[in-house]
Amino acid sequence: MDYEGIVYRPPSEAYSLIIQVTIGCSHNKCTFCSMYKDKKFRIRKLEDVLEDLKESRKYYRKVEKIFLADGDALIAKREYLVELLNAIRIIFPECKRVSIYGSPNSILIKKDEELREFHSLGLDMVYMGVETGSDMILEKIKKGVNSRELIEAGRKIVKSDIKLSVTLISGIGGKEYSVEHAVESAKVINEIQPNYIGLLTLLVEDGTELYEDVNKGKFILLKPKEVLHENRIFVENLYVNNCIFRSNHASNYVSLRGTLMKDKEDIIAQIDEGLKQENLEDEEIFRSL
Ligand code: SF4
């Protein structure tokens, strides 16, 4: 099985069999994202995807987790996904978890009963990029949805019993809108009540619109301790139940982990410890992947 281009997956899918259902991202306009800039979006032919499954079966004796890539595989039509999920159950009966990237827009066009059907066929987790809850920042980063749509999409997944993992990006509002980003993001997450929250830190990559803005001085990046202050405001404002919170991605300055709400004070204490670290330079940091 040959993958087309670079394949991205969430950190928690490190040991999953990755199957490309789509190539690229159906949106591909976010100002900070370079992941799929070199790929023209398309949904792969179902027979080719099924072939990949059969070929993978020959190489792997035990596959417990399957991740459906690229960005936004959930955009495929109901019939396509039903056939794919059924095939996974037949070819990999030992598979315990199938997960997928889903953009807010592709979730919104799915009917509630379709999402419940996917869940009954083994779709266990949807990863949705929220990035920020601030309408103003969402517009600036060209996410293509507003906070109301993010909430509606997130709630649809939660209601279907598929687990929802959301990601947010520390520093995405820059210095100017750091507090707005933290407070508004917490409001959106409180309304969604996801199962998992993943917090990444903004990485500015060459070739993106954001890179140009940083170079022109239009966007001021946060310093490491400012990122932690932003994280603190975000966590302080979170009110979610039985939600696993992680900021252990390589992009983060300090690794945080806990289950909300029970570990909220502990997570805040972890952030406060990070704020005391002298090795967290107070320099502005310009990083790339
Ligand atoms: S951040 Fe997500 S939705 Fe935006 S362009 Fe990148 S992959 Fe697509």
Mean pLDDT of the chain: 93
Q: What pLDDT is stored for residue 288 in this prediction?
A: 36
d(CA 83, CA 50): 9
Task: Classify domain 12-276 at the CATH topology level.
Answer: TIM Barrel (3.20.20)
> Within 6 Å (CB) of ligand 1, which residues are found?
25, 27-30, 33, 35-36, 71, 103, 129
Mean pLDDT of 187-210: 96
CA distance 268 to 272: 6
Tens of pLDDT along 33-45? 999 888 899 999 9
Token readout for 9 is 């997956």
What DSSP string runs through 2-35?
Answer: ---S-----GGGTTSEEEESEES-SS---TT--T
Atom of ligand 1 nearest to the CA of 33: 6
Closest ligand 1 atom number to CA of residue 129: 2
- Residue 128 is inside which H or E element, if any? strand 123-131
Hey, which residues does 127 pair with through a beta bridge?
Answer: 101, 165
Q: What is the per-residue pLDDT for 249?
A: 65
SS3 192: helix
**Cα 88 to ligand 1 centroid, rounded to whole Å:** 26
Nearest one of 144, 124, 230, 245 to 193, comparing CA atoms: 245
Integer Cα distance of 65 and 45 in angstroms: 22
Using the mean position of ligand 1's atoms as its centre, give its distance from the Cα of residue 93 in Å: 32
Where do the structural domains in the chain lie, given as residue ranges?
A: 12-276
- Tell me the pairing of strands 243-247 and 196-201: parallel
pLDDT band at 140 (very low <50, low <70, confident <90, very high): very high
